[in-house]
Structure 1
C-alpha cells in the first residue's frame, strides 16, 4: 500500500511538472536559449584561445628553424676552419634547438587538431542556436495569435474582453452614429421647411417680393401676348 501511495505521489508530481512546463514553455525556452548562447560564447572564446596558442607555436617553430639553419651554417664554417671545439658547441646548441622545435611541432599538431574539433562544434552550435531562435520567434508569434483568438477558442479570464465583444461594441456604435446622423438630417429638413413656410406667408401678405407667380400674373401675361402686333 505504501509503495502504491508513493507511486501515486510521484505520478501526481510528474503531471504537475508537465503542466507547469506547458504553461511556462516560452519562459523556459527563452532561458534555455540564453544558456545555450552563453555556452556558445564560451566555446568561441576557447576557440580563439586555441587559435592564438597555435599561432604562437607556429611562430616559435619558424623562429627555431631559422636559428637552426643559421647555426648549421656557422658550425659548417667552423668545421672548415678545423675549430672542432667551437663546432661541437654549435652542434650541441643545434641539438637543443631541434628538441625544442620537435616539441613545438608536436604542440602545434595538437592545437591544430583541437582547433578543427572546436571549429566543428562551434559551427554546429551556431546553426542549432539559429534554428532555436527562429523557432522561438515563431512560437511567440503563434502564441500572440492564439491570445488574440482566445476569446473564440478558449475561455478567457472574466475581466478580459473578447474580440467578438469588441466587434459587437463597434457595431452598436456605428448603428447609433447612423441614427444620430439621420436625426440631424431630419432636423435640418424640418428647420428648412419651417423657414420656407414663414417666407411664403410673408410674401402672400405683400411683405417683400412674391416667391411665385399667381393666376392673375399668368392671365396678364397671356393677354399681353394677344394684343401684340403680329
Structure 2
C-alpha cells in the first residue's frame, strides 16, 4: 500500500509538472530563446577572437620569415668576406627562426581546421536560431488563437460569441433608429412635395446650387475689375 501511495504521488507530481509546463510553454520558450541567443553571440565573439588571433600569427610568421631571410643574406655576405665565425652565429639564429617558423605553420594548419569546424557549428546554430525564432512567432500567434477559442475564465472575460451578439444587437438598434427617422420624415406634411417642387425649379432654393455659386463669383469678379477696363 505504501508503494502504491508513493507511485500515486510521483504520478501526481509528474502530471502537475506537465500541466505547469503546458500553461507556461510560451514563457519557457522565450527564456530558452534568450539563453540560446546569448550563447550564440558568445560563440560568434569567440570565433571572431580566434580569427583575429590567427591573423596575428600570420603577421608573426611573416616577421620570422623576413628575419630569417635577412640573416641568411647577411650570412652569405659574411662567408664571402671570410667571416665564418659570424656566419656560424647567423646559422644558429637562422636555425632557431626556421624552427619557430615551422612551429607557427603547423599550429596555423591545425588552427585553420579548428576554425573551419567552429565556423560550420556557428553557421548551423545561426540557422537553427533563426528557425527557432520564426517558430516562436508562429507559436505565439497560434497560442493567441487558441486562447480566443478557449477562454480560460469565461465568467471574467468576454468571448467572441458575446461580442458578436452585442454587435448584432447594436446593429439592430441602429437600423431601428434609421427606420424611425425615415418614418418621421415621411410623416411631415408637404415635406416631400416641397422638395420635389424645389428640384423642378418652382420657388426659391433652400440649398446652395452650383449655378448660384457661379453667379456670385462672377459678381465679385465684375466688382473687382478696374473701372473702364
The number of equivalent residue pairs is 193
Bigger mean CA offset, 167-176 vs 183-192: 183-192
2:166 to 164, 169, 179: 169
TM-score w.r.t. the length of structure 2 is 0.78
TM-score w.r.t. the length of structure 1 is 0.78
- Provide the rounded CA distance (Å) in 1 between the counterparts of 2:117 and 2:171: 68
| Secondary structure in 2 matching 1:192 | coil
1:30-50 Cα offsets, whole Å, 9 max, x none, are 110111001101110110111
1:57, 1:107 within 8 Å by CA — same for their partners in 2? no
Determine the structure 1 residue equivalent to 2:224.
none
Determine the structure 2 residue equivalent to 1:70.
70
Q: Offset of 1:190 from its aligned partner?
A: 2.6
- Provide the rounded CA distance (Å) in 1 between the counterparts of 2:56 and 2:101: 13
Tell me, which stretches of 5 or more residues in structure 1 are unaligned? 197-230
1:57, 1:105 within 8 Å by CA — same for their partners in 2? no
- Provide the rounded CA distance (Å) in 1 between the counterparts of 2:100 and 2:64: 8
From the CA coordinates, give the structure whose radius of gyration is larger: 1
Determine the structure 1 residue equivalent to 2:44.
44
Determine the structure 2 residue equivalent to 1:199.
none
Correspondence 1:1-230 to 2 at 5 A: 1-150=1-150, 156-192=153-189
1:61, 1:101 within 8 Å by CA — same for their partners in 2? yes
Bigger mean CA offset, 159-168 vs 116-125: 159-168
1:83-121 Cα offsets, whole Å, 9 max, x none, are 111111111111111122122223212321221111011
Q: Offset of 1:149 from its aligned partner?
A: 3.0
- Provide the rounded CA distance (Å) in 2 between the counterparts of 1:77 and 1:4: 95
1:76, 1:87 within 8 Å by CA — same for their partners in 2? yes
Tell me, which stretches of 5 or more residues in structure 2 are unaligned? 194-229
